[in-house]
Structures are given as C-alpha cells and as structure tokens.
Amino acid sequence: MSPQPCALLLAAVLVGAPFSGVRAQQPLSLSGRITNEDGNPVATATVAIPALSLGTTVRSDGSYTLSLPDRVKGQAVMLSVRAIGYKPVAVQVAIGETGATQDFTLVANPLQLGELVVTGAGTETEVEKLGSVRNNVDSALIARSNEASVVNAISAKAPNVEVTSASGDPGASASIRIRGANTLGGDGQPLFVVDGQPIDNSVSTTASLDPQTGGPQGGVSSPNRAIDINPEDIESIEILKGAAAGAVYGARAGQGVILITTKKGRPGATKYSLRSSFSWSDINRFPQLQRQYGQGDGGLPDACAQSSATATPILDCYATEDTWGPALPAGTATYDHAGELYQTGFGSDNTLTISGGNDRTTFYVSGSLLNQNGELPGPNTSFNRKSFRLTGDHRLSDNLKVGGNVSYTASQQYAVQKGFNFSGITWGGWRTPPEFNNLDYVTTPDSVQRSFRFPNPSFGNVDSTRGYDNPLWSALNALSSSIVGRTIGNVSVDFTPWAWLKLSYTLGVDDGTDSRLQGQPPSTSNTPDPRGQVIKQTLINTQWDGNFLATANYSLSQQVKGTFSFGQNLNSRSFRQQGQVGNGLIANQPFNLSNASTFPPPKDLETKIRTVGYFAQSTFDLWDQLFLKGGVRYDGASSFSTNDQWAWFPSASAAWQFTKVTGNFGGLLSYGKARVAYGQVGTQPSPYLGATIYQSSLFNDFDAFGTGSSQNGLGGLFTPNVKPATSLKPERTKELEAGVDLGFFKDVADLSFTWYKRTSTDVILLVPVAASSGFTVEGANAARIRNAGTEWSLNLRPITRKSFAWDVGLTLGTNRNQVQDLLGAEFVNYGGLGGGIQGGPQAVAELGQQIGAFRDYDYVRCGRGVILTDGSGSPYNVDANCTPAQIQSKALFIDDGTLVNSAGIGSNGPGFPLLDPTQRVIADPNPKWTGSVRTNVRVGNFSFSGLLDVRHGGQVWNGSRAALNTVGTSAESALRGQSVVFGTNFLPGAVAGPGAGTAATLDQGWFANYYGWSFASTIGQPFYEDGSFVKLREISIGYSMHNRFVNRTLGLSSVDLRLAGRNLVTWTNYTGVDPETNLAGSETGARGIDFFNNPQTRSFVLTVVLAR
Amino acid sequence: MRPLTLNGIRRMRSFFRSLMLGSSLAATLTGCSDFLTGPKLQNDPNNPTAASNEALFVASQVNISVQLESRLARTICIWMQQCAGQTQYLSLGSYSVGEDDYYLNWSAFYGGGGLLDLRTIQARSLQSGDSLFWGTSAVLEAFTIGTTADIWGDVPYSQAANATIATPQPDSQRVVFAAIEAKLDSAIAFLAATGPRNRGPGANDLVYGGDPTRWTALAHTLKARYFLHVAPRDPTAYAKALAEAANGIQQGNDYAVALSGQGATSSDLWSVFQSIFPGYLVAGSFLVNTMNGPPADPRLPLYFAPNGNNQFVGADPGVPGSPNLLSTLSSTRLNGAFSQPFITWEENQLITAEAAYQVDHSDAAHTARNALQAVWTANGVTLSMPAPGTPGPNDPLLQAIMTEKYIGNFQNIDAWQDWKRTGIPNLQPASGGVIPRRLTYPLSERNTNPNITGPGPAKNWNDP
C-alpha cells in the first residue's frame, strides 16, 4: 500500500495517547462460578461490571475472578453475565472487605434475547433492539455442513439467501444471492468481512486469457476466494441482508454483507481440539444416453470409424462426430459414457486448535490441512488447503486492549476442463458413440491420443486436433492449477477513556497471490494451435482497510438511553494481473512458456479503487421497549466520477417489543416484537469507465476467437467498443422492510416474518448504444430494478429435556424481481458471459421480466402474430388459422409441408412444427420460492440431524441434452425412425395448423435442425426444464462421549463421532445432471445454464473430534 | 459501559482525554483530500490514451480483413455452395441463422478499426496536410461501408460514427453507393498529391507498403465494383464500371492481406477455424462439381484437399456426409500465412468483361472475351471461349464470365453480390429453404436505434 497518512496518523493517536489510564492493581476481588440449569459450567460466558469498565471471560470450569479497585470497598456494583445461548443476567453485588463471591445459574435463551449481535463496522447491539431481521449461522451449523467453503456452508441456512455451487469439482465456486438480483454488472456477490476486514471473494478463470478456450463457460470451475477461510475457524456468521442493516457499509453493501467472526481464546486451562474428518464422494446424477445406435450419419456407418474394427484400419482419418449410424448389431460391446470415468473421491480434513489465556491475555491458534480429491482418475482434480491462524488479545490496562489476528492460507486447486470446451470432460465423453471405448485412450506403443473422431491416429498425427478430446485423456493430461498464498490479518486497539465512551481502531490487510498454470498437451482439441498450449498467470489482490469507531453511551433518564457512534473507514483495493499464453508446444512437456512457439499479446492489467467513508449512527432506547436507530454513511470512491465523488446513505429502524404493553396473552405469546426499517446502500462502479483510451487487443469473430490488432511486427490500436462514461455515481438500493419476531408458549416456538421491497436505481449498465454510432455500449447509471418478497422462519422446540431434545426449523423465502427501466433499451445482456454459448440461451435483463430471463427461439405458436409464407409466396397469418382457445394456449403450429417462416426456412416435413425466427423471452431461471427444513434430535449422547433444501420453480437450460440430441447420443435420440403425432405422443400439448394430427417420422434432420443445439442452432424452447428440487443437503448421526473412560484413560474431556451424508438424495424432475449447477460459476450473475458442466457430488463424511 | 449523564459531563476532569478525543476526530476528518484522486485511480493505467494514425491504420486494415474472413464469410461461402457446413455448421446450410449472429460484423464496420477510427485518421490527416494518409484511409472507408451496404442495403453512413448523433438514420442504399463513389473520387485526387507532408501510412500499410499508385488502382477497381452493384437499378453504371476498371488493379497487385501466420491471433482465420473446428466446413458440391469439369480446373487442388479416396467431393447444402469422404480446404488455403485476396486483378478483369458485355453486345466478343481469356490464361484454365449468344442470363459468354468470377471469388463474400445480380451460377437451395439475399438488421442495433425498426426487407434496393 502506498502510505495513507490519515490512517497512520489516527492509529498513532490511538496507540500513543492513552497510557494515562493504567491503574495499580488492588487485592480486592470478585469471583464465582457460572453454570447452566444442568449444573455444567458455561465456559463461554463473560462477566462485566460496566460501571467500572471491567470485564473478563470465564475459565473453562465456569469460574471467574475480577480484580476490583480499592475505592469500591463497601459499595454495591452491578455485575452482569452474558453467554451465547443463555439469557443475560445482572445483579447488584455488595463488595465486602476482601471482595465478594457471586455464582450464577444461567437459563437457556432460545430467542437469543439480550445477546450481542455484531452489526458491522465495529458496531454491535442486542438482539431485541434490532430493527431488521437477523440471520445468523453459528459454528455448529457450519461444522455440520462438511463443506470446504464457507459459502457452501451457509446453503439453506437462511431464507432468501440462495447458494448455488457451480459444479461438484473440488474447489469449484459457489455463489450467493441475497433477496434477488439488484445489479446488472459484475458478479452480484455480497461483501465478505472477516473480523472487520473486508476480503476478496472474486473468482477468475485462467481460460479467459485465451480467446478460444474462452470465458467462464469453458476452462475449469475456479474457486471463489472465500474458500481460503477455514470454516473451522469461524465462530459465527451474520448475514446482513437488507439495506437498513447494510447501510453502515454504504457503497459496498448493495448485494448484502456476510460478517464473519472468527474464534477467540478464553481464559482458563488451555484447550485442545483435534477435528478430523474423512469423506467418500461420488457423482449424484447422470444424464441418460442411448446405447442402440452407432457412429455415422443418415443411418449409414462412418467409414473411418468402421475401419477401427478391420485388420488394417485407415490411419489418421476423421470420423463424423454424429451418432446417427445404423442400429448396432446384437452383441456389439457398448460403453456407459455417462458414468464410466467416475470413481469414488476421497477427502480428509484435519484441524487442530489450541486456545486459552488468562484474565488479561487470550490466544487462539489453529492449523488445518484439507485434502479433497475429485471423482476422476489422475492427479488433476483436487483441492488442498493448508492454513494456520493466530488470534490474540491483551489488556494493557483496564481501559486499553490491543488485539491481533492473522491467518495464512495456502490453497491449491487442480481442476479438469468443463463446459463449452472441446477438452471438456463431459462434452467429449457424453457425445462419444456408445460403441467406442474411451478407456482405451492412447495408442500402443506410440501413446498418441485416441478419440472417437480420430480412432486410429498414427504417430505422425501426434499434433492434430481430435475435434473432441477423449475425456480420459483430457482428465489425465490437461492441467489447470491455481496455487494461492494468502494472508488476512488485522490489529486492533480498543480504548475506553471514560466508562461511557469507547474508541477503537482496526487496521487490516488481505493480501493474496494466485499463480495459475494451464497446460494442454499436443493433440488437444481446445486451443487454436493443436500442438498444445501453456498459460501462465499471476493474480495479486491486496486490500487495506482502516476502520475507526467511537461509541458513546448516554442516559437522559431511566426511560431514555442510547448510544451515539461515529466512524471513519479508509479502504484501498488493488488488483494486478499478468498473464501470457504460449501456443504450439515444441516438445510434449513441460508446461512452460519457454516450451511454446508462438505468443499472443500478454495480459497486463492493474486496477486500483479507494474508498473513504464516514458514518454516524444513534440509537434511542425508550421505556425499555421501543428501540429507534438512525444512521448515515457518507462515501467517496475513486471510481465515482470526479464531479460526483460523494454520496449519502441514510438508514433508520424501529423495533417495538409490544408484549411489554400487551402482556403475554396468557402465556401464549411469550415475546413479540414488531420492526420496521428503511435504508439505502450502494454498489460502486468499476474503475476507469470514464477514461478515454485506445487498445491493442483482439478483433473477435462470432465463433469466439480473435485476431490481434497488431500484426507482422506493426503495432495497431483501435477505439474500444465502450464509450467513455460522462458521469458515474454509485448504484443505489432503497429498501423498506418490516416484520415481526414472535416467541410462543414460553419460547417453545418462535416465528419470524419479514416483508421487504427494495428498489435499485442508478443501476450501472453498460447501456447498449446503436453500434452504427461507433460504440456498442456506454457505462451509465441507467437501470431500475425492483425486488419484493417475504421471508419466514419458524423454529419449534417441542422437547428440551436434559437427555432428550428435539427441534425443528423451517425457512421460506419468496422474491419477485422486475426490471423496470433500461434507459430505453428493451433488454440488455445480463451477467456478462453467463449465457454466451453460440446458438444457446441469452441471459437478459428485459423490461418487465425478472433478471436473468432467457431469450431464445421457439417453434411457431398461435397468439404471437407470426406471419408465414405459403407455397405460392403469399403471406399466411398463423393466428387467423388458430382458434381462440389455441391462441390462448399458445398452441404449437404444425406445418403441412407447404409453409416457410420469415427467414425462408421450412419445417422438417408435413406434421412437423416450423421454427419461429424471432427471439423472445421464453424461460426464467428464478425460483418462485426457496426453503429449508432442519431438524435435530438428541437422545442421551446420541444426536441426529437433517437438512432439506427446497427450491420451487425456475427453469434450467439443459443444453447438454440439446447438444446430445443433435449428435445422436441422448436417450431421446433413440426415438429415431419412430412415427409420432405432435401434441399427442410427442411434445404433448395443444396443437394447431394445417399439419396437425399428421404422423411424422423423427429423423436425424429433425433432431439436428429442429430439436437440438448446434453452433448455428435456432431452437431452445424444448430444453428449458423445470429446475425445482428437494435435496437432502445434510443428514448425520453423532455420538458424544465424555465419560470416565474418556476422561481418565484417554485423558480427554470429550470424544465426538459423527457420520454424515451430504447431498445424498435429490428429488427433481430435471433430466440433466443436477438442477443446482451454473456453468459460469459465481463469475456472472446469470443462473440456470447447464451445458456439459461437470456433475455435482454426494458424499459420506466421518468426523472425529477429540477435545481436551 | 457506564452511560454518560449530564452530571458525568460536568465531572469530566481529564483535559488530556478531551484533547486526545479531539485530535483523533480531527485526524479522521482531515488529511485525506488526495486519497481518492491520483495516479491509477482516475486514469486507466492499462491502456494508451492516444494513438497515432499509423497505429490506427494497422488496426483498421486488420479489422477489415477479420470481418471478411469471419463467420460472415463462412456463411456466404456455404450459401454460395462454395463450401458446405457439416456437424455444428450443418444448419447454416439450411439458412438457419440467429437475429444477432452478424452483429459483431456490423459493429466492427462502424466502430474502432472501422468507420470511427478511419474518420479520425482522415480528420487528423487534413490537419497535418497528409493527403496520402487521407486518401488511403478514405479508400478503406469506402471498402468498409460499401461492404456494409452490400450486405444490409439501407445503412447508416452520413450520420454514423459521429459523436453528436446517438441514433444514426440509415441512408438509402442508393445514396450510400453514390457517396462511396464520391469518396473514392476524392481519395483518387488526394492520392495524387506530392510534397514533404504527404507521408501516408508507409511501412504501416500491411498490403501496399504505402504505395499511392497501387491505392489509386484499388480505388478505381472499388469504384467499378460498386458501379456494378447498382447496375440492376441503373444500366448506365456498366459504362462507368468499364471506365473505372480500365484504371484498376494491375496483375500482381491484388489487395490481399497476409498476416504473419504465427499463432492463432495472427493467422489467417480460415486456418484458425479449421484447426479448432475440424470438419465443420468442407467443400461445397456446386463449386467442386463445376471445377471437376472436364476439363478439371487447375485451381482445384489449390482450393481443396482430396478426400480419403483421393477424389474431390463436395457436400450438398444442409446434407450431412462422412468427413472422410468429403474434401476439405487445401493446405494452401489452410496455411496460417495465406494471403487472403479481397479485391483482385481478376475481379477487375471480370468486371471489365461483364461491363463490356452489358454495354455493347456487339463489342462484347472483343473486350469481354479478351478480359476473360486473360484471367483463364493466368490461372492455367484451358476452356474453349464461347461465342456470345443471345443477350441475357443464358448467354454462354456471360455464363462463362460469371462462372469464372464465381470460381475466382472463392471465400470472397462478393460472390454473393454477383449471384444476386446475375443469378449465375444457378444454385439450387437446400431442401425446403430459400437462399437469403440479405442479412436482417442485427437485433442489437434494432434494440438501440429507433431509426431501424424491423429486420428489414427480404431484398436490398439493388436486388429488384
């Protein structure tokens, strides 16, 4: 970081000044023991005497000791005790000559009332004072999820927090969407904050360096960088969903905030914990493939492929990629291309933690080692993470505490090729004709790649592309690695000059370097030069953050009290990326740039963004039942236009514990709170959108490769297609949320309901402009998007006995999204490249639709005003030949073989539908509602738990099925030669048109041109399938031992065993791999695209926790 | 924390603590005025903010060549049955295209590397007094916009690529072609200039090395080409085309762009496409059958590679075949360093032949036959020269001229214009389809430019 004088100055003031507060120690003390109703020590409790600014954490046996100043001798002090999961208590204690003793018995607090909640930027409040909904995920839930990434761990834990993992590959990214999409650029991911330090959670693909291997649809499933946090280190997560909650983060909270608090040490005996888990995973679902027909076209075998079977096969010949050959003779060996490559993946995860301390100093140390191997053979699919963390704090004096926290993570991902990619494992694998043996993937003795399109290569063709790589060859030979070293840490100072005022400063850093290497050996099908390719790339992310907070308590009377906080935040983010592609390997190995023969222009990119924020907030607690809060943040950012560099983000909320007035309705309603909150948050523009530049880059072709603007040693520059923006300010989301939190029957049940409506304006859009003006897009604050929805959570605790407890939790979230304004455009591409597959869906933000809706092509249907041309060249109005009922049902219009569409394309023949050449919105990936059901049963030392994840509605484009229809390997394509009648036994539904009821024979031409996917395809509609699912996300049984044998013989305090299943069952009508998939991962906001993505996994996990 | 009460404030004794509090507040509020501005914060540190005319010219020449070898060219090659699409490209042969599939071409003709930058070069050349640079970039502009008008008909030109006009009005195709002829006239005048300020692109010209003579000849051939393109509406244009062709490209001076061929981003796009998508594009049956003769056209092995049976076989449009039985492009054409011709001496000759034939049928036997014979001789073709018959599309002489042009324009989108204009050769569309005669306006342009509302007509103005 370049020096930030203001930040350093502030830190110096805070560190240097306050030693005046050090006091001499007195022998007077207050001590006691804190237990719960079962008599067990509550080791997580903290005791405090607020009036004296004294406080400590209890020891592991529940005991505590506070040293008191001499002046309180003979007086009474107010002593308060808090512990997560227990109701807070405060009592007056009379201090005698040598002090006093005070024990506490804490009672359970299922509604968490009185517990402190972190609310961002250093602020905290009590649960009952929150004016917005609280969503919290604690360490037990995180541990039970058995996920390597914290993002996956919060899946199905809170309503309207949708987590989608890109694929089952080790280390694959997962994305979060909170209360719907409200931005159009970027990845739409929330801000991640760890112990006050914002961290990088970006995802980047190596393949994006190469114009051919393409953007996020190809390459490999790269991780999002929150995976560098060891979930075992996390104490709790607060999800700040709405604008009122997030407003303290101003222009960075537009997509929500995930506040992560890591574990800390506690005074008392040093505690040791070793958590080891071992997992066995496999693929959860496969597509259906046909095994009756062989390679060839038009019912004829392919000569080249046929010759494989003869004594002297034709060498070096290309076979067709189609499987439209004859029926395979009985007895022909066929292979299960869907599942044959996959095996059981093994993983292990070990974390050792040591924590402890004394009344003044605590520490927490952890080290962990995670190894996950994927389900494909070979070393190229794994994720490994080594991490350690040290957290410590020390009370220098009664009013001054310093602390620090540092973690280092070394993450390594090795991934296989996926998706829209000729080296993709499933793209090559699933389209292989059933009679070709992919396991025989190289020739003997030359070891040259064999594939179904190049079945008999000679050594002379070691360098030729195979059209599609043999998936086993690709898995074993193509390398893509990401090696990350990352440090996240901070130092903090807390100073309490007077009992009513607390000052704190936190200075933190997140610094990571990601070294990428991708190599494709000669004969690869996915690079512009079939002699192979090597890509090296370095990504460096650095983020500094300084956060100052002053909080003053005030009390005007017994009835009116509150706090006032003022803060300042300085943030600097820089990102550097350097990459070089080398094409045409000279020798087969190594994957090193010096072994390449040609070099496209390098990538050399640097971006820097700085943000300054000031914030102030004030709370008013009235009559101990009405809690008001008002706040404002004032943000400036370097990526705002200089003429508009600052923005205000106000927020306000009210919470009213109405049961203090209404009573508890005879015990029915033990707690009731109504709340309402309003706030504004923002999203920063990308940097440099206003700069006028020229670029030396590539001119791209529609088929996704480019030619450099510099040629033959002459430098070429051209004006980019992005018109320089004239003025940019942050996107702004204004949100009103209201709800109730209710506790029933002495807290046996609780219900939380929230309604919200958020309108995002000034949404930054690369607004499409008329290309004939010289540019295609211009950055502008242009769009308006609305999200509205409800969130429900219900928790039931029917049995809470010491040896038998049962609880159930349900969540439900609904969200409706609407694009309301696009500055005149009808639609814009959404999520960058999410839908960027030629001939495939176009994910768009279209006026009046939900974000991410798919524009694609359908067949001609009634009710759309389609005009055809008949055999004599005259116009033929479709709707004039449909009945009102058929118009209503958008009946499929069947041709009698005489009509052509407006593009001059006829149908496959009489009885078939025609293609409608007009692209329209025909599908929507957004679910109608999402929910979860969680339960936990404890019987003695046994515990059982389960979690169901439910998604209802939302469509997924099953592009794999579409493409396999075209090439003839899908199960559906085995219908070839069958005579069908549209509407009755094929594509059931209403039909109209002169050819309705005519029998039609399904043939290759139908599948290839009218019922499939190809580069030049114009049909999408049949492949949008319902993506609803119910998933058994987690199920586990655990046994906890803390008996004499464990204590005496093993010398441990407890041993916990748990056997868990993860994603064991998925109930869905979706016919592809898994409706939870996203080809481009968390890189784009687009959802619901399944195109030869690598499949999802399920796993069994055995966990042993040894504690001492 | 003990709350602050009014009493508490009065009891506040430590001046030092107040000072510290005040100074820390002051520190947070001041001293950060330059935090948000400065190097790498406002200005893009990754790209140049200025570009020389030379650099813009190199990129413009590359851009045009990329557009004319992109999917646009592959599509026209398939529609004209010089090529055939297979596997994923099969449906292109049935004329199945998306509404935005050629948007990249449309935007590239107008944006950076296209009209926008070519106009920048011309404006700066006028200021610096470099007539040669003005002339060369004006010729490129005419070629760019002429191609755009060939494909889409009525297109924005007079209002296009203008910073003050957000949604340009299209000009009628007639007006565009007239403006192009005028532009080329000016270019020819400027290219004649001499003097120390007239440096031109010089070595930064990928094709002609900055030679104004050759640029002038190119301008004349382009003028002739676009006169022919309006001839269906204006028969007097044949005479103008004939006159321009007389000063057109000389043998050996084709406008043919050769990239270094070193790797994917600097190789001829036909070779890049073939190396990534093998088997998608094979020989078209109509062209192969025409060239198979007898007598066999000597260019056949230069265009195509023999199939597994050592024969030249093309695929019919929209019909799948076995790759091993079909011819692909030849190794000559698939060489990354292949010099892709866009405007040639042969075209100039055949313009002369066609125009002479149309202008004066009695003289056609002389001028048209000489021009055709010169092309045949240059290519080693040994066909017998037909005598002119009854004027019309079935006249064997016109058939011979246009067939030769169809063969010569292999992989050149101008073949589409010739076929639309003359109906030669007599292509049979793929089963159940109609060969498109123009591309629809790209959906993205329609979505953003209210002056272009629908996909447009089925035919352009010059295609009555």
Q: Which residues of A touch B108 (CB under 8 A)?
A: 699
Contact A570 B156 (CB under 8 A): no
d(CA A966, CA A958): 13
Contact A1016 B98 (CB under 8 A): yes
- Separation CA A57–CA A361 (nearest Å): 10
pLDDT band at B261 (very low <50, low <70, confident <90, very high): confident
Share of chain A above pLDDT 70, in %: 96
The answer to whether B4 contacts A826, with C-beta atoms less than 8 Å apart, is no
Q: Give B361→chain A minimum CA distance, Å.
A: 35
The closest CB to that of A900, out of B4, B107, B434, belongs to B434
Residue type, A313: P
Asked whether A765 and A723 are in contact (CB, 8 A), the reply is: no
Residue B387 DSSP label: P
Which of A41-55, A904-918, B326-340 is the least confident region?
Answer: A41-55
- Nearest-CB residue to B112 (from A467, A701, A721): A721
CA distance A163 to A932: 12
The residues near A181 (Cβ < 8 Å, ≥ 6 apart) are A188, A785, A787, A817, A851, A852, A1085
Please enumerate in sequence order all residues whose Cβ is within 8 A of that of A475, keeping only pairs 6 or more positions apart, or say none: A341, A376, A377, A378, A380, A381, A416, A425
Residue A7: its pLDDT value, please? 44
Report the share of chain A in percent with pLDDT over 90. 64
Interface A-B: count of C-beta contacts within 8 A: 453
Which of A493, A566, A773, A847 is the best substitution to test chain B (most B C-beta atoms within 10 A)? A773
Do A499 and B1 make contact, defined as CB atoms within 8 angstroms? Answer: yes
Residue in the block written with tokens 């946090």: A229
pLDDT band at A215; cut points 50, 70, 90: low
Q: pLDDT tens digits, residue range A937-978?
A: 999 999 999 999 999 999 999 999 999 999 999 999 999 999
Q: Which residue has the higher pLDDT, B356 or A115?
A: B356
Across the interface, whether the CB atoms of A553 and B1 are under 8 A apart is answered yes
Q: What count of other Cβ atoms lies within 10 Å of the Cβ of residue B380?
A: 9
Predicted pLDDT at A893: 96
Cα–Cα distance, A613 to A191 (Å, whole number): 15
Q: What is the DSSP letter of A493?
A: E
**CA A492 to centroid of chain Cα atoms:** 30
Query: What does the alpha-carbon distance between residue A653 and residue A739 come to, in Å, rounded to a whole number?
Result: 11
- Residue contact B99–A917, C-beta within 8 A: yes
Nearest CB to A825 within list B4, B44, B448: B448
pTM for the whole structure: 0.89
Contact B102 A702 (CB under 8 A): yes
Which one, of A120, A148, A151, lies nearest residue A137 by Cα? A151
Tell me, what's the pLDDT at A18?
Answer: 41
Could you tell me if A1072 and A960 are in contact, meaning their C-beta atoms sit under 8 angstroms apart? yes
Our CA-based measurement puts residue A705 at a distance from the nearest CA of chain B, in whole angstroms, of: 8
List CB contacts of A788: < 8 A, sequence separation 6 or more: A755, A756, A757, A758, A815, A816
- pLDDT for residue A1082 is more than 90: no
Secondary structure of A202-222 in HEC code, one letter for each residue: CECCHHHHCCCCCCCCCCCCC
Q: Are residues B442 and A5, on separate chains, in Cβ contact within 8 Å?
A: no
Q: How many CB atoms lie within 10 A of CB A1086?
A: 29
- Radius of gyration of chain A, Cα coordinates, nearest whole angstrom: 32
B111 contacts in chain A (CB < 8 Å): 719, 721, 771, 774-776
Cα angle value B413/B417/B420 (rounded, 5°): 135
**Hey, is A817 helix, strand or coil?**
strand
Q: Is the pLDDT score of A1042 beyond 70?
A: yes
Nearest Cβ partner for A717 among B51, B87, B262:
B51
The answer to whether A534 and A595 have CB atoms below 8 angstroms apart is: yes
| Close Cβ partners of A227 (under 8 Å, ≥ 6 residues apart) | A148, A149, A150, A151, A171, A383, A385, A411
Amino acid occupying residue A273:
S
Long-range contacts of B393-401 (CB under 8 A, 24+ apart): B393/B422, B393/B423, B393/B424, B395/B357, B397/B357, B397/B364, B397/B365, B397/B368, B397/B369, B397/B372, B398/B354, B398/B357, B398/B422, B398/B424, B399/B424, B400/B372, B401/B350, B401/B353, B401/B354, B401/B357, B401/B368, B401/B372
Residues of chain A in contact with residue B63, where contact means CB-CB under 8 angstroms, are 699, 709, 718
Residue B429 has pLDDT above 50, yes or no: yes
- Per CB-CB distance under 8 Å, the chain B contacts of A700 are 104
Q: Do B167 and A773 touch (CB under 8 A)?
A: yes
Q: How far off is chain B from A164, nearest CA to CA, in Å?
A: 30
Band of pLDDT at residue A832, cut at 50, 70 and 90: low
pLDDT tens column, B230-241:
999 999 999 999
Task: Give yes or no for a contact between A1077 and A166, defined as CB atoms under 8 angstroms apart.
Answer: yes
What is A239-272 written as a DSSP string?
EE-SHHHHGGGGGG-TT-EEEEEE----SEEEEE
Does B66 sit within 8 Å of A707, measured CB to CB? yes
Q: Which residues in chain B touch residue A638, judged by CB atoms under 8 angstroms apart?
A: 36-37, 41-42
Which residues in chain B are closer than 8 Å to A716, comparing Cβ atoms?
55-60, 62
How many angstroms separate the CA atoms of A921 and A855, rounded? 4
Q: Where are the beta strands (DSSP E) in B219-269?
A: 255-257
Query: What tens digit of pLDDT does each residue of B379-391 get?
Result: 999 999 988 888 8
- A705 pLDDT band (50/70/90 cuts)? confident
CA distance B275 to A637: 47
Distance CA A1031, CA B280 (A): 41
How far is it, in rounded angstroms, from Cα A254 to Cα A261? 21
Token code pair at residue A347: 């993983």
Question: Is residue A1101 pLDDT above 70, yes or no?
Answer: yes
Tokens of B383: 């066909």
Nearest Cβ partner for A719 among B58, B112, B206:
B112
Chain B residues closer than 8 Å to A609 by CB: 41
Q: What is the pLDDT of residue A15?
A: 43
Neighbours of A203 (CB within 10 A): 25
Q: DSSP assignment, residue A664? A: -
Given a contact cutoff of 8 angstroms between Cβ atoms, the answer to whether A894 and A923 are in contact is no
Please provide the average confidence, as pLDDT, over all residues in chain B. 90
First to last CA, chain B: 89
CB contact under 8 A, B35 and A303: no
Comparing alpha-carbon positions, the chain B residue that sits nearest to A768 is B448
A768 contacts B60? CB cut-off 8 A: no
Mean per-residue pLDDT, B360-376: 87
Residue pair A79/A34 in contact by the 8 Å Cβ criterion: no
Residues in B touching A642 (Cβ below 8 Å)? 37, 42
Residue of A nearest to B449 (CA): A770
With beta carbons under 8 A apart, name residues in chain A contacting B35.
4, 6, 570, 610, 612
